[in-house]
Homo-oligomer: A and B are copies of this chain.
Amino acid sequence: MKPTWRLLIACSDQEGLVHKVTGVLYRARCNVVVNHEFADPGSDRFFMRTEFTGDINREAILDELGKLLPPQPFVRLIRPGKARIAVLASKEHHCLADLLTRCAFGELDAETVAVISNHDLLRPFVDKFGIPFHLCDHTDRAREDQESAVLQLLDEIRPDYIVLAKYMRILSPDFVHRHAGRLINIHHSFLPAFIGAKPYHQAWERGVKVIGATAHFVTEELDQGPIIEQQIISVDHTHGPKDMARSGRDVERLALARALRLVLEDRVFLNGHRTVIFD
């Protein structure tokens, strides 16, 4: 069996790009398994994701691509493998437990290398999985202090992705900046509705008939990052905020798990503050 590769390209659009890129792979006798491309008429950007098998000279391929692509392309040519993720959590268990289980059974192509929390509540559960649990308490402590403890841990751990699984702390712009593109959050509303605190209370106040959850990359503006996945669920007048929270947990874990699968399989491209997703 020849090894499997993923080729990811994002660059300014130009005629013939699909022809040229597939030509490189064809001449290298690679076998394309699946191919996705998208040219965004708004941004004039071109995106391509190709899965192929082949005994290739990686450097030679990258070299050839570099010559035919427009200036300053984003190009990655990688072998699929387990990513290392760190999970930030607070008191709610459901997203964390779902991720740990999915990683444990290989449903997500990732290894959870650490759980960091500002509460000690979930430690016993995390311990069951043999995953290091780090408490970064926030009580009687300056905001910056607690955050820099988290940052220091992340510096040691060096995860590929940091998943905010109902981490109830707002990150500073500096934190976000240092981990740009690596931070994935689950927000418990169908954004942009109900930004900020207590979205289920807001949803109940407003009397909506659907609630939802949004998995998104974190940027410096709160709840404004590029959306990866949204899931919704119906509610009615009998649902108070607590009932909405209970129903919502199911879409939260699902939205986050799907978003993570997409990210881990390199299916998600950033296109300004939007995403291009090849699934």
Nearest Cβ on chain B to A135's Cβ, whole angstroms: 19
Other-chain contact of A31, B15, B101, B107, B257 (Cβ < 8 Å): B15
Nearest Cβ on chain B to A28's Cβ, whole angstroms: 11
Other-chain contact of A237, B25, B38, B128, B238 (Cβ < 8 Å): B38
A275 to B236, CA, bound (A): 9
Other-chain contact of A101, B25, B97, B275 (Cβ < 8 Å): B97
Q: Which residue of B lies closest to A202 (CB)?
A: B192
Asked whether A26 is an interface residue with its Cβ less than 8 Å from the other chain, the reply is yes
Asked whether A148 is an interface residue with its Cβ less than 8 Å from the other chain, the reply is no
Contact with B along A4-42 (1 / 0, CB 8 A): 000000000001101100110110000111110111111
- Among A75-83, A166-174, A227-235, the stretch in contact with B: A227-235
Whether A207 pairs with B26 at a CB distance below 8 angstroms is no
Whether B237 pairs with A277 at a CB distance below 8 angstroms is yes
Taking CB atoms and an 8 Å cut-off, the chain A residues in 98-114 that contact chain B are: 98, 101, 104-105, 107
Whether B192 pairs with A274 at a CB distance below 8 angstroms is no
Asked whether A209 is an interface residue with its Cβ less than 8 Å from the other chain, the reply is yes
A229 to B210, CA, bound (A): 9
Nearest Cβ on chain B to A77's Cβ, whole angstroms: 17
Asked whether A146 is an interface residue with its Cβ less than 8 Å from the other chain, the reply is no
Asked whether A179 is an interface residue with its Cβ less than 8 Å from the other chain, the reply is no
- A240: chain B residues at CB < 8 Å are 41-42
- A228: chain B residues at CB < 8 Å are 209
Asked whether A176 is an interface residue with its Cβ less than 8 Å from the other chain, the reply is no
Whether B18 pairs with A18 at a CB distance below 8 angstroms is yes
Asked whether A2 is an interface residue with its Cβ less than 8 Å from the other chain, the reply is no
Nearest Cβ on chain B to A6's Cβ, whole angstroms: 16
Asked whether A254 is an interface residue with its Cβ less than 8 Å from the other chain, the reply is yes
Known A-B contacts A206-B227, A207-B227, A275-B237; the reply to A22 vs B31 at CB < 8 A is no
A11 to B39, CA, bound (A): 26
Whether A275 pairs with B207 at a CB distance below 8 angstroms is yes
3 closest A-B pairs (Cβ-Cβ)? A207-B274, A19-B22, A128-B128
Q: A residues near B, CB below 8 A?
A: 15-16, 18-19, 22-23, 25-26, 31-35, 37-42, 93-94, 97-98, 101, 104-105, 107, 125, 128-129, 190-194, 206-210, 212, 226-230, 232, 236-238, 240, 246, 249-250, 254, 257-258, 271, 273-277
